[in-house]
Structure 1
Amino acid sequence: MSILHPPNRMPPAQITTFKSGLIGLLILLTGCSLLQPHHSETALPDNPEKWDARAEINQPVSTGWLDNFSDKNLTNLIKEAIGNNFDLKLAAARVEAAQANAKISGADRWPQISASLNAGRAKRNTVVGGNIISGISNNFQTGIEVSWEVDIWGKLSHQARAAVLELAASESDFQAAKLSLAANIARQWFNSVEARQQVRLATETVDNYQSSLTIIRENYRAGLNSALDVRLAKTNLATAQSQLAARQTQLDAQLRALQILLGSYPSAMIETAQQLPSLDNRIPAGLPSELLQRRPDLIAAEQRLLASDERVSQAKKNRLPQIRLTTSGGSSTDEFKKLLDSDTLIWSIAGGLTAPLFQGGRLKANQELAMANANQALYQYAQTVLNAFREVETALAATPLLDKQQQALKTAVNEAQESERLAAEQYRAGLVDIVTWLEAQRQLFTARSNLLQIQNQQLQNRIDLHLALGGDFIQEDSDKNK
Structure 2
Amino acid sequence: MDAKIRRPGPRRDVAGRPRGAAPVSAHGMRVLMAAAAVTLVAGCTVGPDYVRPAAPTSAAFKEARAQAAQGAPAAPIAGKWWEIYGDPVLNDLVSHVAVDNQSLAASAARMREAQLLVQEAHGAAYPQVSVGTIKSGRRNENDFGLGVSWELDLWGRIRRDVEAHRASAEASADDLAAATLSMQAQLVQAYFALRQSDAAIDLLQRSTDVATQWHRMVGNQYTQGQASSADVSDALVKLSGAQLQLADTRSARAQYEHAIAVMLGKPPAEFSLAAAPFDTQVPVIPPGVPAILLERRPDVAASERRMAAANARIGVAKAEELPSISLAAGIGVRRGPTGTADVKGPLFTGGRLDAQVKSAGEGYTEAVANYRQTVLDAYREVEDNLVATNELANVAELHAKAAAAATESDRVTQNQYKEGVADYPAVVQATNGALEAGRGELQLRLRRLDTSVNLIVALGGGWQAGGFAGSAAGRPLGPPDADLRTGP
Scaled to the shorter chain, the TM-score interval is 0.7 to 0.9
| Alignment-derived partner of residue 73 in structure 2 | 59
Mapping of 1:134-145 within 5 angstroms?
143-145=145-147
Of stretches 370-379 and 166-175 in structure 1, the one that deviates more from structure 2 is 370-379
- 1:6 corresponding residue in structure 2: none
Corresponding residue for 1:131?
Answer: none
State the match for 1:351 in structure 2.
341
| Cα-to-partner distance string for 1:419-446 (whole Å, 9 max, x where unaligned) | 5466775999899995x76554433222
Tell me which moved more, 223-232 or 401-410: 223-232
Task: Give the 5 Å matches for 1:217-366.
Answer: 217=219, 227-267=229-269, 269-272=271-274, 274-279=276-281, 281-284=283-286, 286=288, 289-332=291-334, 346-366=336-356
Give the alignment of 1:172-211 within 5 angstroms: 172-211=174-213
Distance 1:41 1:91, change over 3 A: closer
Could you tell me which runs of 5 or more consecutive residues in structure 1 were left unpaired when the two chains were aligned.
1-17, 24-33, 119-138, 333-344
1:94 to 106, 110, 117: 110
How far has the Cα of 1:363 moved from its partner? 2.3
Distance 1:361 1:440 in 2: 82
2:449 pairs with 427, 439, 459, which one?
459
Q: Take 2:161 and 2:301, find their aligned partners in 1: how far apart are those partners? A: 20
| Higher RCO structure, 1 or 2 (CA under 8 Å, sep 6+) | 2
Give the aligned partner of residue 483 of structure 2: none
Q: Deviations over 1:246-291 (max 9, x none)?
A: 1122112221111111111123851155122433643347556415
Cα 1:404–1:68 change in 2 (3 A) is same
Question: Across the two proteins, how many residue pairs are aligned to each other?
Answer: 419
Query: What is the TM-score normalised by the length of structure 1?
Result: 0.76
User: Within 1, Cα distance between the matches of 2:287 and 2:371?
Assistant: 28
Distance 1:385 1:239 in 2: 48
Kindly indicate whether the alpha-carbon contact (under 8 Å) linking 2:47 and 2:312 is maintained by their aligned counterparts in 1.
no
How far 1:117 moved relative to its partner? 8.0
Q: CA deviation at 1:328?
A: 2.4
**Match runs of 1:71-150 below 5 Å:** 71-116=87-132, 143-150=145-152
- Which digits, 9 at most, give the CA deviation of each residue in 1:127-146, with x for residues without a partner? xxxxxxxxxxxx99664322
Instruction: Please say if residues 413 and 448 of structure 1, whose CA atoms lie closer than 8 Å, have aligned partners that are also in contact.
Output: yes
Identify the residue that residue 468 of structure 1 maps to in structure 2: 458
Call closer, same or farther: CA 1:252–1:281 in 2, change over 3 Å.
Answer: closer
Aligned to 1:15: none
Tell me if the contact between 2:43 and 2:156 (Cα under 8 Å) persists in the aligned partners. Answer: no
Q: State, as a whole percentage, how many aligned pairs show the same letter.
A: 28
- CA distance in structure 1 between the partners assigned to 2:371 and 2:62 by the alignment: 22
Secondary structure in structure 1 of the residue aligned to 2:330: strand
Give unpaired runs (5+ residues) of structure 2.
1-39, 135-140, 475-488
Q: Tell me how far 1:452 sits from its aligned partner.
A: 1.1
In structure 2, do the counterparts of structure 1 residues 419 and 233 end up closer, same or farther at CA, with 3 Å as the change threshold? farther
Q: TM-score, normalised by structure 2?
A: 0.75
Work out whether residues 318 and 363 of structure 1, in 8 Å CA contact, stay in contact via their aligned partners in 2: yes
**1:311 CA displacement:** 0.8
Conservation of the 8 A alpha-carbon contact between 1:168 and 1:300: yes
In the TM superposition, what is the alpha-carbon distance from 1:292 to its structure 2 partner? 4.6
| Partners of 1:148 and 1:324 within 8 A in 2 | yes
Shift in CA distance, 191/391, structure 1 to aligned 2, threshold 3 Å: same
Corresponding residue of 1:411? 401
- Measured at CA, do residues 346 and 154 of structure 1 come closer, stay the same or move farther in structure 2, by a change above 3 Å? same
Counting only pairs closer than 5 Å after superposition, residues 32-47 of structure 1 correspond to structure 2 as 44-46=55-57
Q: 1:329 to 1:359 in 2, by over 3 A?
A: same
